[in-house]
């Protein structure tokens, strides 16, 4: 006999002792407070590694390396989250990162181009290659999974051929400074003040707009508490990094991309179209939206993010490596799923994907400091990915 009977509607289950567990409420908690749950998970991960490394994991220099390490995955995740929200996938991003990183090394080292023209050419090349992926997917009707799989092999092959499978080094110092440079301390504090002031301005404007349209506003203390949390996080972030060498330039670039992509996702017509395409493709097409154009733009943004990540990778290692970007696609996709992006499309956030990238980087950094074997690192990351998708399944069930 079943010892744990459920109600007819499947919402509650009895457990020994007479207590009742409301499964629906647990699912709703996953759905509504996913970001808070992610931040809580990051805190637990940090506390665990802090205790296991005798405090070295949370030193300013270690945190600086952690955020620098997550910057490349975060850049890829910024683009990948749009691709997944639109109902597609791109498995070629790791190889494309390596190809574009190799291209900037070839231009600056072998062809003796100035750094900034080379950077601009690589950014344009990344956008065009992303558009090519989108064109093949939308116009030739080849599934994006196959297009990405083919690109993963082809781009890696082009990289091996163009570099003769050898490392190209050393790259110019001004290119190296893109990844190994730091924001001056005074400027970092000015930027922190700008972020806090911008958050206050946007909060006040949102409350005024909702009041003007006779919409309900949250209590003032809720917004005040949220702004206080933002200010505390920004000040603590800048203060800790300034105790090392300052805010790394790639981290600043990532934060700027976060602001731009979050604005695109939440405040523009294009962003709403991306969510609509992933949520219900046929209904969106029937409503007059050019679905193919939206997907083409999404893949172009993904290519642009691969260019940013490739440039930072080459600058960080001061060389163009034929193995650069190996596994980058898995880290980017994992970061999106861990950050709450739905594998079914139509749901996800940029900041959630970046928190997912922080989770991945924290696991990598912490296990490396603990000298955990590489095989076990892969096992742990795989289990975390499966857990994240399971949470997404629970969230999807709660919405049905």
Q: How far apart are CA 76 and CA 132, in angstroms?
A: 18
Contact 190, 254 (CB under 8 A): no
Sign of CA dihedral 337, 340, 343, 347: negative
pLDDT of residue 375 exceeding 70, the answer is: yes
What number of CA atoms fall less than 13 Å from residue 45's CA on the CB side?
22
Q: What whole-number percentage of the chain has pLDDT above 90?
A: 55
Q: What is the 3-state secondary structure (H, E, C) of 342-382?
A: CCCCCCCCHHHHHHHHHHHHHHHHHHHHCCCCHHHHHHHHH
Average pLDDT over residues 378-396: 77
pLDDT of residue 26 exceeding 60, the answer is: no
Residue in the structure block whose two tokens are 């940013």: 308
Per-residue pLDDT band at 188 (split at 50, 70, 90): very high
pTM: 0.87
Residue count of the chain, please give it. Answer: 400
Least confident of 53-62, 78-87, 111-120: 53-62
Structure tokens at 138: 């939308």
pLDDT of residue 374 exceeding 90, the answer is: no
Per-residue pLDDT band at 207 (split at 50, 70, 90): confident
**What does the CA dihedral 105, 109, 112, 115 come to, rounded to 10 degrees?**
50
44-57: string of b/e by CB count within 10 Å (b at 16+)?
Answer: ebbeebbeebeeeb
Q: How far apart are CA 337 and CA 346, in angstroms?
A: 13
Least confident of 88-92, 185-189, 367-371, 393-397: 393-397
pLDDT of residue 383 exceeding 70, the answer is: yes
Contact 398, 27 (CB under 8 A): yes
Cα 251 to its chain centre, rounded Å, is: 13
Contact 246, 240 (CB under 8 A): no
pLDDT of residue 106 exceeding 90, the answer is: yes
In this prediction, residue 91 carries a pLDDT of 94
Q: How far apart are CA 263 and CA 257, in angstroms?
A: 10
Q: How far apart are CA 150 and CA 137, in angstroms?
A: 12
Per-residue pLDDT band at 398 (split at 50, 70, 90): very low
Dump the DSSP string for 101-140: HHHHHIIIIIS---HHHHHHHHHHHHHHHHHHHHHHHHTS
Q: What is the phi/psi pair of residue 326, to 5°?
A: -60, 125
Q: How far apart are CA 282 and CA 259, in angstroms?
A: 30
In this prediction, residue 380 carries a pLDDT of 86
Q: How far apart are CA 79 and CA 350, in angstroms?
A: 9
Cα 379 to its chain centre, rounded Å, is: 21
pLDDT digits (tens, 9 = 90+) for 322-353: 999 888 898 999 999 888 888 888 888 998 89
Q: What is the phi/psi pair of residue 115, to 5°?
A: -60, -50
Contact 76, 326 (CB under 8 A): no
Least confident of 6-15, 202-211, 307-316: 6-15
Per-residue pLDDT band at 274 (split at 50, 70, 90): very high
In this prediction, residue 23 carries a pLDDT of 53
Q: How far apart are CA 299 and CA 131, in angstroms?
A: 6
Least confident of 19-23, 84-88, 366-370: 19-23
In this prediction, residue 11 carries a pLDDT of 46
57's enclosing H/E stretch is none
Contact 109, 168 (CB under 8 A): yes
Pairing of strands 20-22, 12-14: antiparallel
Sign of CA dihedral 85, 89, 94, 96: negative
In this prediction, residue 110 carries a pLDDT of 92
């Amino acid at each position: 006999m079943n010892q744990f009977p459920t109600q007819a509607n499947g919402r509650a289950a009895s457990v020994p002792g007479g207590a009742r567990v409301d499964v629906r409420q647990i699912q709703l908690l996953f759905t509504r407070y996913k970001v808070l749950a992610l931040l809580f998970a990051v805190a637990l991960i940090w506390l665990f590694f802090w205790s296991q490394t005798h405090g070295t994991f949370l030193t300013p220099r270690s945190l600086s390396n952690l955020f620098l390490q997550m910057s490349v995955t975060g850049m890829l995740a910024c683009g990948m989250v749009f691709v997944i929200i639109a109902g597609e996938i791109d498995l070629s991003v790791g190889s494309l990162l390596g190809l574009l990183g190799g291209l900037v090394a070839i231009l600056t080292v072998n062809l003796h181009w100035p750094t900034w023209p080379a950077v601009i050419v690589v950014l344009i090349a990344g956008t065009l290659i992303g558009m090519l992926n989108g064109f093949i997917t939308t116009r030739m009707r080849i599934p994006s999974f196959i297009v990405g799989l083919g690109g993963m092999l082809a781009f890696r092959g082009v990289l091996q051929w163009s570099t003769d499978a050898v490392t190209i080094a050393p790259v110019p110092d001004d290119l190296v400074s893109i990844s190994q440079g730091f924001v001056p301390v005074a400027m970092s504090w000015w930027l922190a003040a700008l972020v806090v002031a911008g958050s206050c301005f946007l909060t006040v404007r949102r409350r005024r707009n909702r009041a003007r349209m006779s919409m309900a506003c949250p209590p003032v203390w809720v917004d005040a508490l949220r702004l206080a949390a933002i200010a505390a996080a920004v000040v603590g972030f800048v203060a800790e990094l300034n105790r090392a060498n300052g805010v790394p330039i790639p981290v600043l670039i990532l934060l700027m991309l976060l602001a731009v992509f979050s604005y695109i996702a939440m405040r523009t017509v294009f962003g709403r179209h991306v969510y609509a395409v992933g949520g219900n493709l046929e209904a969106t097409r029937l409503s007059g939206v050019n679905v193919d154009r939206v997907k083409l733009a999404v893949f172009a943004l993904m290519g642009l993010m691969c260019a940013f990540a490739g440039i930072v990778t080459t600058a960080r290692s001061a060389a163009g490596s034929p193995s650069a970007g190996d596994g980058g696609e898995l880290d980017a996709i994992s970061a999106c799923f861990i950050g709450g992006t739905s594998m079914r499309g139509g749901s996800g956030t940029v900041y959630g994907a970046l928190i997912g990238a922080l989770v991945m980087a924290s696991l990598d950094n912490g296990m490396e400091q603990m000298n955990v074997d590489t095989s076990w690192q892969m096992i742990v990351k795989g289990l975390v990915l499966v857990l994240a998708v399971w949470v997404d399944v629970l969230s999807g069930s709660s919405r049905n």
